[in-house]
Amino acid sequence: MTGSSPTQRSAPHPPRLTLVIPTYNERDNIPELLSQLGQVLEAAEAEIIFVDDSTDDTPTVIEAARSDCPVPITVVHRDDASGGLGGAVVEGLKRAQGAWVVVMDADLQHPTATIADLVATGEQTGADLVVATRYAGGGDRSGLSSGYRKAVSGGSTLLAKTLFRRALAGVSDPMSGFFAVRAASIETDRLQPLGYKILLELIVRTRPQRVAEVPYTFAPRHAGESKSSLREGLRYLRHLATLRLGRTRARMLGYGLIGLSGMLPNLVSLWLLTHLLGVHYVPAAIAANQVAIAWNFALTNMLLFRSGPRRHSLRSRLTRFALLNNTDLLVRIPLLGVLVAVLHVNVLLGNALTLAVMFLVRFVVIDRAIFVPAPAETPSTVPETS
């Protein structure tokens, strides 16, 4: 990670407000965003922290545009975008000096004029968290670009509120990326973000004492493309499962579902080999098992253990995964024989028991020995400049 903190003026004391803005390839939005923020925050005791995961020249554009902004600006560029945009927000929260921290996007869909309303509402109500909402009190989500995105947004909100009814009681827009939080109430060590739904993470894990809401109109994107995608949708579902079940149990559930999905390529391959190619069922079953192993590995690697660098290479993980799942056959057969012949267990029940036992063994080995995170590296920082 590299960081720099160029400022136009030195604050004599900590600012009243810190604005945290996560960015990913937002170069075309930066000049207009800083122009608006300069007007809104000029008279305020504030600072702006950009936490950037971009692959374009967004940090350079910020550097070029900052000279016209009367507010101190910090730019932190992360080489490892751990946790996605949510991880970027947490990084900003850790660096914030203001009594209030406002989180917003850089695409100008969050109106800068609402920033003051969020902080004022928090101070007037004594709330620890103030959410800018599109779903209550006159809020509007018309800036969503299509009916499909509106349906996805509404469905995601309904799913979250169903799973976390108590924690989200009184929160109409838990998917909002626009909110203010009292800095003294933040426990960043408890946050484990995944994807861009950091507000949901913050509410469920830290349970703020009091939450208030401010309605706003979600505007169309100023420039660039939405970061919403199928991949982000899958990350959101993973995030929900992790928050609801815990990290290990959520991965176990995901691994079990992937294993069930592997039955389809297994059966299709077995049918093709035996019925169309006339291969004997024993070698055909072995070959079909390899197809299922490849399928399961691809999904496990992509969906369950994608975040962060791994200690073992992709080839090493695939080899270990294949050996483990093929060894599974050698262990299950003798175990089934003991259950049926010695303990007189029904063969179907015995087979189910061996599958359950080996599932747990495989998951523990995969979780602890194959998809092992690489040791954390100490981030490097660029000295602050004024």
* pLDDT tens track for 223-248: 766 656 666 667 777 777 777 766 66
pLDDT at 361: 77
Whether the pLDDT of residue 381 is over 60: the answer is no
pLDDT at 380: 35
Structure tokens at 300: 């496990």
Query: pLDDT above 90 covers what percent of the chain?
Result: 26
Q: Residue 79 — pLDDT band, cuts 50, 70, 90?
A: confident
CATH architecture of 2-227: Alpha-Beta Complex (3.90)
304 or 132, higher pLDDT: 132
Summarize the confidence of residues 334-340 as an average pLDDT: 75
Summarize the confidence of residues 263-268 as an average pLDDT: 79
Torsion of CA 77, 79, 80, 81, to 10 degrees: 40
User: In whole numbers, what is the pLDDT of the chain averaged over residues?
Assistant: 80
Summarize the confidence of residues 267-292 as an average pLDDT: 79
140 or 286, higher pLDDT: 140
Summarize the confidence of residues 23-40 as an average pLDDT: 91
Whether the pLDDT of residue 3 is over 60: the answer is no
pLDDT at 371: 66
Q: Give domain limits for the chain.
A: 2-227, 247-370
pLDDT at 386: 31
Lowest mean pLDDT among 208-217, 240-249, 314-323: 240-249
22 or 262, higher pLDDT: 22
Q: Residue 9 — pLDDT band, cuts 50, 70, 90?
A: very low
pTM over 0.75: no
Summarize the confidence of residues 210-221 as an average pLDDT: 90
Lowest mean pLDDT among 41-50, 121-130, 338-347: 338-347
pLDDT at 17: 94
pLDDT at 225: 67
Whether the pLDDT of residue 21 is over 80: the answer is yes
Residue-wise pLDDT for 153-202, tens only, equals 778 888 888 888 888 888 999 889 899 999 999 888 888 777 678 898 88
225 or 379, higher pLDDT: 225
pLDDT at 97: 92
Whether the pLDDT of residue 385 is over 80: the answer is no
Whether the pLDDT of residue 11 is over 60: the answer is no
